[in-house]
Amino acid sequence: MDKQQAQEKIQALREVLNQYSYEYHVLDKPTVPDAEYDEKLQELRQLEEAFPELITADSPTQRVGDKPLEGFTKVEHSIPMLSLGNAFNEQDLHDFARRASQGTDTPPTYVCELKIDGLAVSLRYENGQFVQGSTRGDGTVGEDITSNLRTINSIPLSIKDKHTIEVRGEAYMPHQSFLKLNKAREENGEELFANPRNAAAGSLRQLDPKIAASRSLDVFLYGVGEWEGKQLASHSERLTYFKELGFKTNPEWKKCSTIEEVIDYINYWTEARPNLNYEIDGIVVKVDNIAQQEELGYTAKSPRWAIAYKFPAEEVMTTLRDIELSVGRTGVITPTAILDPVKVAGTTVQRASLHNEDLIREKDIRIGDPVVVKKAGDIIPEVVRVITEKRTGNEQPFSMPTECPACDSELVRLDGEVALRCMNPNCPAQLQEGLIHFVSRNAMNIDGLGEKVISQLFREKLIQTIADVYRLEREALLSLERMGEKSVDNLLRAIEASKENSLEKLLFGLGIRFIGAKAAKTLAMEFETMDQLANATYDALIAVDEIGEKMADAVVQYFAEEEVVTLLSELRELGVNMTYKGPKKAAIAEDAVFSGKTIVLTGKLEQFTRQEAKERIEALGGKVTGSVSKSTDIVVAGEAAGSKYEKAQQLNIPIWDEAQLKNILEAEEEKQ
């Protein structure tokens, strides 16, 4: 057989094997015996061994890599993978429907989908080839797990759409795969996985793709990220198109005209979910029309056009043996129930938050009580109620202390609050929790300063305040247990690098009450320097969009404290940046070129990343969306612009090239 004949035979075998795989793994309707598939796969392997120059990445023989990875690289999502807001009852669903109706010109219809309990993943295709797969991570940055995702047979390695597209979904482990895996682990004396979700996540984070391949994982696709492909008017059309491309979608989705139909769908699957061969933990409800989705937009954390209804949590009985107290970074005293170990929703629970003194009193919780426990949102353990009829009479009532368990200072209850609070700014527990927050990823992001290291440094009195982080010395660190030269050098480099962070990172790290990461970014962008923010009046703060009364009051009070003035002075002397480095806010939003305009980015940008372009446009008053519609004002087209470019032409929407965008951005930013 010559090379031309081999190439033709290889192509024919690949096509038939891909079709067999699609029928088996996606349609669940195999048309040939396994032996016939295996025979053709072996024939393909032999031909590729004879003609290795004909091997391509999308060949069925290339699903499992030969060598384990050394580690996972980071992947920045060009469009964030946001989480969904939650609904727990019918009223929450009606509220969601009311907000959606108020935010659109016509009453929306909905698509309901089963909420698969697995690991959120993103699959990127370029020129029809699967080129990258990643985890959700923190929504902005995930991990590259391409090699492991390639082992999932229901993920096509090539598709007929040649545009750059990114599809998103949930990788999961079917029940039979989970039972088989745990049986094997039990026989080998290995620790069992608590539930299929943990097993799926653990499998996809294996450095050896052969391990992931052996776990029989599957996937359902349900959404998009970056999308240059066929423009569709609705989510339901998108799901249908996914199927045409060979992607596996969950067959149980349904279009609903009203929220009452949505509730009927939820009620059905609340009862029917035990019949499925995979775990679901709720129902996802989405506005079907994509133009309406764009009209409704997003909050900082989630889309306004979708919500996740969570099934009622599993409830189990156990005994409450003790109540422990912890002190948070803001001084709040939180009681925690210590329980007899009990399995809830797939994991063993021994602790559950009791929140505050009022809740303990309201539920009449006593030490020794038989109690019912559940996981709120299937995540956070909580005590639901006491089983009073099972009391023996030996249970002991619990009273909150009058003094802080960490520093013995008097506890107070502020007006309008239910929590007891330690007001001592030098309380060691508060200081330690504050330090853990300061170095965390969303704050100063000092890699190597985790909770255990902070605790160790605190015990050894090497750090007592935030400023002490920047006074750590190499010799002192080397004297600590489990701190070698390499780890110490890496830690000191990370500390030094954190000095260059933009102002919003420092603001969030300081732990100002009510000021989260988003509010910190808003304040940093508005005031630009720490000094200007510290001197801002209540009226100036309240005038900033998204800064409420409590936030403004908290900021004023924070910067009025002498300890804060001293701390900021020390940080400045230690070289910590006090200036906002991000894209600046337009001085006069009405005069900005993008004020009130909707912009779509398409194709490959060369001058800056997609995220950078988005941030700079938004800083000048623009709104960046993912699809072209009549409401789009400008389309910016990079290289290999696809259907969005064509649709913009059809709708006579102005089309800019990247150079034009760059010139406009620079000109507008110079005006500030």
Selecting among 115, 248, 310, 374, the annotated active-site residue is 115
Q: Does domain 3-62 have CATH number 1.10.3720.10?
A: no
DSSP, collapsed to helix, strand or coil, labels residue 352 as strand
Each residue's pLDDT tens digit, 107-119 = 999 999 999 999 9
Q: Which residue has the tokens 């390695």?
A: 157
Which pLDDT score, from 0 to 100, does residue 125 have? Answer: 95
Under a CB-based contact definition with an 8 Å cutoff, are residues 468 and 462 in contact? yes
Closest by alpha carbon to 77, among 224, 225, 204, 294?
Answer: 225
| Fold that domain 589-670 belongs to in CATH | Rossmann fold (3.40.50)
Rounded Cα–Cα distance for residues 271 and 458 (Å): 51
Q: What is the pLDDT of residue 36?
A: 80
Whose CA is closest to 193, among 172, 218, 208?
172
In sequence order, the 6+-apart residues with CB closer than 8 A to the CB of 391 are 369, 370
CA distances from 651 to 625, 629, 632 (A): 16, 8, 9
Q: Report how far residue 194's alpha carbon sits from residue 178's, in angstroms, rounded to the nearest whole number.
A: 10
How far is residue 648 from each of residues 390, 628, 655, 657, measured CA to CA in Å? 69, 7, 7, 13
The whole-number pLDDT of residue 588 equals 41
Topology match between the domains 316-397 and 589-670: no
Contact predicate 666/618, CB 8 Å: no
316-397 folds as OB fold (Dihydrolipoamide Acetyltransferase, E2P) (2.40.50)
Q: How many CA atoms, within 13 angstroms, populate the side-chain half-sphere of residue 421?
A: 12
The 3-class SS string of 42-93 reads HHHHHHHHHCHHHCCCCCHHHCCCCCCCCCCCEEECCCCCCCCEEECCHHHH
Q: How far apart are CA 655 and CA 71, in angstroms?
A: 41
Give tens-digit pLDDT for 108-152.
999 999 999 999 999 999 999 999 999 998 888 889 999 999 999
Reply yes or no on whether 3 is catalytic. Answer: no
> How many other C-beta atoms are found inside a 10 Å radius of the C-beta of residue 8?
11
pLDDT of residue 225: 92
Point out the residues of the chain with pLDDT beneath 50. Answer: 586-588
Torsion of Cα atoms, 165 then 137 then 379 then 331, to 10°: -140
| pLDDT at residue number 66 | 52
pLDDT on residue 4: 87
Phi, psi of 304 (to 5 degrees): -80, -10
CATH of 85-310, one of 2.30.40.10, 2.60.120.10, 3.30.470.30, 3.30.43.10: 3.30.470.30
Helices 610-619 and 658-670: crossing angle in degrees, nearest 10, is 40
Q: Where are the domains of the chain?
A: 3-62, 85-310, 316-397, 428-573, 589-670
3-state secondary structure (DSSP) of residue 496: helix
CATH fold of 428-573: DNA polymerase; domain 1 (1.10.150)
